[in-house]
Copies of this chain bind each other. A is one copy, B any other.
Amino acid sequence: MASSADPDELVASTDAHHPANLIPSLCSKFWSLGWVTGTGGGCSIRQGDLVYIAPSGVQKELMKNTDIYVLSLSAQLPSTHQRTYLRSPPDLKPSQCTPLFLAAFTRRRAGCCIHTHSQWAVLVTLLLEAQGSHVFEINNIEQIKAFPRTASSETDGTPSNLGFHDTLRIPVIENTPHEEDLTSFLEDAMDHHPHTCAVLVRRHGVYVWGDDVRKAKTQAESLDYLFQLAVEMKKLGIPWVSQIARVGPDRR
């Protein structure tokens, strides 16, 4: 545990790739994409046992490394098994997304988790609600290849990704009045969809994770691309799932 040292050392680095510097630059980019409008959404990075988390209620495009919370995955209070923060910025509040980020880190060994309020994600959940559906499904779109077919832990470092003709499935959970109450529903969705790298939250947004920052961000971008495409397809009367003729050799 780093509790004996100066906790501010945990977020002080001149390395642009240090999590305390990466989270602000990622959040600024996400703000430009409309993912974290009005202080909504967030981002967390895990490095070994340490978890770095953006705070609640800050303007995401203006965040600084000194705004970042840090906690230890392994260190829990003996009585309640609650985790405590190794570093808490003064005058800020911890993110209500924290238990959801932790679910991705503990259940999926993720290295980064991104939560967006993207309107495309929300609109997809609204369109699915009108159909009584709890799963977003789309196939036969090239960008689907960005997603893993299996969890990376199953494949000894050579993960297999979805193919063009495969169907990407992202579960949808219902929103709860308090964000931390989503945790058990998110964990259930992870259990029932063991290969998914994302969970949609109805009328709220999406949680996306990955082994590292690059993978989590690539999957978050690719999902948002598919959500936007799906909304436009709906406007134009084009179905999300189709049976199309296969072209060329399929060497999968």
Contact = CB atoms under 8 A, between A and B. Distances in A.
Interface of A: 34, 37-40, 57, 59, 117, 119, 122-123, 126-127, 129-130, 140-143, 146, 163-165, 174-178, 181-182, 185, 201, 203-205, 214, 217-219, 221-222, 224-225, 228-229, 231-238, 244-252
A232 B231 contact: yes
Contacts of A236: 123, 126-127, 231, 234-235
A146 B224 CA distance: 23
A221 B35 CA distance: 12
Given A59-B217, A231-B232, A238-B130, A163 B141 contact: no
Contacts of A178: 248-251
A142 B233 contact: no
A140 to B, nearest CB: 5
Given A117-B143, A123-B233, A231-B236, A181 B221 contact: no
A39 B249 contact: no
7 contacts: A40-B222, A123-B233, A126-B236, A174-B247, A177-B251, A181-B248, A203-B244
Contacts of A164: 175-177, 203-204
A228 to B, nearest CB: 6
Residue of A38, A59, A175, A234 ringed by the most chain B CB atoms within 10 A: A38
B214 A176 contact: no
Given A140-B203, A236-B127, A236-B235, A37 B119 contact: no
